[in-house]
Structure 1
Amino acid sequence: MGSPGFATIDFETTGLFPGKHDRAIEVAVVHSDPDGTITGRWDTLLNPGRDLGRQDIHRISAAEILRAPTFSDIAPELIELLDGRVLVAHNASFDTRFLLAELARADIWTSQDLVTLCTMQLARVYLPGSGRALVDCCAAFDIQLEGAHRASVDAGATAQLLASYIAHSEDRSGWTDHLDRAAAYSYGRVPSRGVAWYPREDALSGNDHHFLERITDNLPEFSGPDAHNDYLALLDRALLDRVLSLHEAEGLVKLAESLGISRPACEKLNLEYFWMLGAAAWSDGILTDAETGDLVAVATLLRIPPTQIDKVLTPPDVAPASPKQPGASLGGFALNPGDLVTLTGEMSLPRERWYDILVANDLVPKDAVTKKVKLVAAADPDSISGKAKKARDYGIPVVSEQGLANLLGI
């Protein structure tokens, strides 16, 4: 019958259990001819609508997936890439379970009887005595695997591994049998949503623009002191953890546009905020290494000119002046005994350990986000978990794990 060949697939996921709550966050597909020659590559990040799980493994940040399509958005193009081809993966059981679970969530029916090949299982035949991990199998054939746990990298390496297996086969009948059965299998057709795929490279380049560049440059200036104070207050809250998340940056842009604050005015306010921080740091007449590092970190986030940084770091000739804006909030946020704090995402410290730390600081861990919660700490400050989303709706600050530690002085 003949077949167009193989489709090697790899998913990066939030965890190991698609039947529960874990989701796919990246998928890559590599096409190969029946002889193993690679003929095409595709990959995209996926927005799962929840926190990203073990980010230390897949190294995908929440900021990168905010503009990514959902699985349902790209499912029509994905199944078209798989249709009529042998589905190949390293540990195919894992990837096919996620594929079927995501298709089911997208209300796309497909038979469970997929035509698959597992390069991990085939290692028993072609690499007896070798390790089963992808890195071990690739090393046996001198296949480069740099940047593992990235879907495009793992799928590409697996496709090369498949080609090596095929090249070392004396009898091709087994491969032909799979190709023939795959040619008779169809995932069906689903109308395209016209949503473009979103590779990691696009996400990385798309997040390069500083928030000031997104504020209108020539906006007619009609804002006054009250609007400026609102901007400074939001800026202060956004910089609680010295991380300017994409959500916080977008919030500053929207506020500036709604209040009629132009980009030049925002630059002046950012500089004023930086000088206020400097004045507070110098208030005791000493600038410690920690305070210097903090000022430099803020200056980097706000793109403060080097000449201004040098001026703030230079000991003042007179006592620092108080902030010019009487209503500006500078370091006004503090956690007080009895405040409710919610955690979200898989942090570096176990959740139970963080609960103990919060209780030891007279704070109350709260599993759910209500309007009474004072702060939400997230493994990733751009988290799109349900808790983080609700916190932003309520105007509750969302800070990083390190930001929480800094607020507690630990």
Structure 2
Amino acid sequence: MKPLVVIDVETTGLNPYRHDRVVEVAAVLVLPEKGIQAELTTLVNPERDVGPTSIHGLSASDLIHAPRFAEIAAHLVEVLRSSDVLVGHNVRFDVSFLQSEYRRIGVEMPPYTTLDTMAIAGGGTLSACCAEHGVKYDGRVHAALQDARAAACLLQTMLLRRPDLLTQCASCTPAVWPTLETPRGRLLSRESVERAIPAVPTYVQHLAKRLSVGSADASHPEGERDYRALLWRALEDGRIEESESEALVEVATNWGISFKRVEAIHLGYLSELAKAAWADRQITDVERREIQIAAQLLGFRRLTDEQLQDLLRSCEISVSLETAAIGGEELVGQSVCFTGECACSIHGQIISREMAEQLAAEKGLRVMLSVTKELDLLVVADPNTQSGKAKKARKHGIRIVHEPVFWRSLGIAVD
């Protein structure tokens, strides 16, 4: 008998027939009598907003360098061709998304015989079924490879009790794939993204090359004020655009600021951000992520847990600095639009789109439902979002603000 292929996809939403896309896929090759024989997994750039990060744990920043589905389609077919039977937990959901993705690139996925571990195990979530039937579940729930492995182990357990299922599969119709002419991209696993050490931003490298080393004590107040104001504005959307990096280098160079002073200003920004987050003596996941993003953009690479704790301890013993510079400008009367699902919460409740719009309106902003050239602000939960609104805002040069910065600028405390 041919091996079985266990599949799992993570997606931007629940509807494969409209605009939802795959953000991660895994395929595990299983021989019932021998176990897992081979695996394929990769993140997938959905070319749109990533959907519920709170469920699949993936952000736009995680997916921005991932291959598009067209670039992994042939890799996936190599595994799918190995079997005439696809297995999954609520397998119809996974198959429907794969069919939709292949149709987008002009390929019709052949019909497959399927086995649904959810139905075979008596219903319930994958983790619940594994627990009920004594199957160990390793890793994060809603990570494609971990889910596919768990479903494969659950399948093997159930086949010991229902060997007749293999008999049914033995007479299934072979799945015949057409030849794919799509390009092959580099696969990118979730694990490799989590392990990656970010490079020092290009503009920081340019600053290090062009500025004198100087002293951290030799200050140029006016130049530093301009540099600091420009840095604050550049970082409010959680990313540094090329034009912004060029401006930062020019300002620092022309005003004679030493690289040591630039480093001190950068550390000052990070310290102020940490102080604002640590004001209630706890750091939420959203605040931790914002600090990590800022640290990377400021040239400090990714902070270890120990470095983050040192930073927070310094917040407790240092003199309180002015925090109004971070997002403190008056926004009353400006027009604002939101894109994607909010990442922040208030008293443990995730801020819904309706709540976000209500909060903004109560603070005197004009809420817009779409992006036009006249829009003042677009609020994003992830700096690297690829939503249609974000793409349009960048095209028109509209100011983009990272969600935690936006709430802080309005004086709204978020978890």
The Cα offsets for residues 105-161 of structure 1, whole Å up to 9 and x where unpaired, read as 1211223x222111111124xxxxxx4221122113322223111101100000111
Equivalent runs, 1:153-192 vs 2, <5 Å: 153-171=146-164, 174-181=165-172, 184-192=174-182
Using the alignment, how far apart are the partners of 1:276 and 1:180 within structure 2?
A: 66
Using the alignment, how far apart are the partners of 1:390 and 1:267 within structure 2?
A: 38
List alignment gaps of at least 5 residues for structure 2. Answer: 213-219, 343-349
Q: Which residue of 114, 118, 121 maps to 1:120? A: 118
| Residue in 1 that maps onto 2:216 | none
Answering whether residue 131 of structure 2 is matched by residue 139 of structure 1, we say yes
Are the counterparts in 1 of residues 6 and 151 from structure 2 also a CA contact under 8 Å? yes
Q: Secondary structure at the match of 2:264?
A: helix
List alignment gaps of at least 5 residues for structure 1. Answer: 125-130, 280-286, 323-328
**TM-align CA RMSD:** 4.1
Given the two structures, how large is their TM-score scaled by the length of structure 1?
Answer: 0.76
| Residue in 2 that maps onto 1:282 | none
Distance of aligned partners of 1:84 and 1:374 in 2 relative to their CA distance in 1, 3 Å threshold? same
Specify the code of the residue in structure 1 equivalent to 2:192.
D
Q: Secondary structure at the match of 2:401?
A: strand
Q: Secondary structure at the match of 2:77?
A: helix
Say how many residue pairs are matched: 373
Specify the code of the residue in structure 1 equivalent to 2:188.
Y
Using the alignment, how far apart are the partners of 1:292 and 1:35 within structure 2?
A: 54
The Cα offsets for residues 341-398 of structure 1, whole Å up to 9 and x where unpaired, read as 0101112322222222222222111122233222211232332211122223334343
Equivalent runs, 1:284-363 vs 2, <5 Å: 290=279, 301=295, 302=298, 303=300, 314=318, 334-347=329-342, 348-363=350-365
Are the counterparts in 1 of residues 8 and 25 from structure 2 also a CA contact under 8 Å? yes
Deviation at 1:57, TM superposition (A): 0.7
* Percent of aligned pairs sharing the same letter: 30
| Residue in 2 that maps onto 1:389 | 391
Using the alignment, how far apart are the partners of 2:316 and 2:233 within structure 1?
A: 21
Specify the code of the residue in structure 1 equivalent to 2:58.
I
Distance of aligned partners of 1:200 and 1:255 in 2 relative to their CA distance in 1, 3 Å threshold? farther
Are the counterparts in 2 of residues 378 and 399 from structure 1 also a CA contact under 8 Å? yes
| Residue in 1 that maps onto 2:47 | 49
Q: Secondary structure at the match of 1:40?
A: strand
Of 353-362 and 43-52, deviating more is: 353-362
Using the alignment, how far apart are the partners of 1:293 and 1:249 within structure 2?
A: 31
Q: Secondary structure at the match of 2:27?
A: strand
Q: Larger radius of gyration, structure 1 or 2?
A: 1
Distance of aligned partners of 1:10 and 1:401 in 2 relative to their CA distance in 1, 3 Å threshold? same
Answering whether residue 194 of structure 2 is matched by residue 204 of structure 1, we say yes
Using the alignment, how far apart are the partners of 2:405 and 2:176 within structure 1?
A: 50
Answering whether residue 256 of structure 2 is matched by residue 237 of structure 1, we say no
Specify the code of the residue in structure 2 equivalent to 1:87.
L
Are the counterparts in 2 of residues 277 and 330 from structure 1 also a CA contact under 8 Å? no
Distance of aligned partners of 1:48 and 1:255 in 2 relative to their CA distance in 1, 3 Å threshold? farther
Using the alignment, how far apart are the partners of 1:31 and 1:44 within structure 2?
A: 15
Using the alignment, how far apart are the partners of 1:178 and 1:226 within structure 2?
A: 76
Are the counterparts in 2 of residues 29 and 43 from structure 1 also a CA contact under 8 Å? yes
Deviation at 1:87, TM superposition (A): 0.9
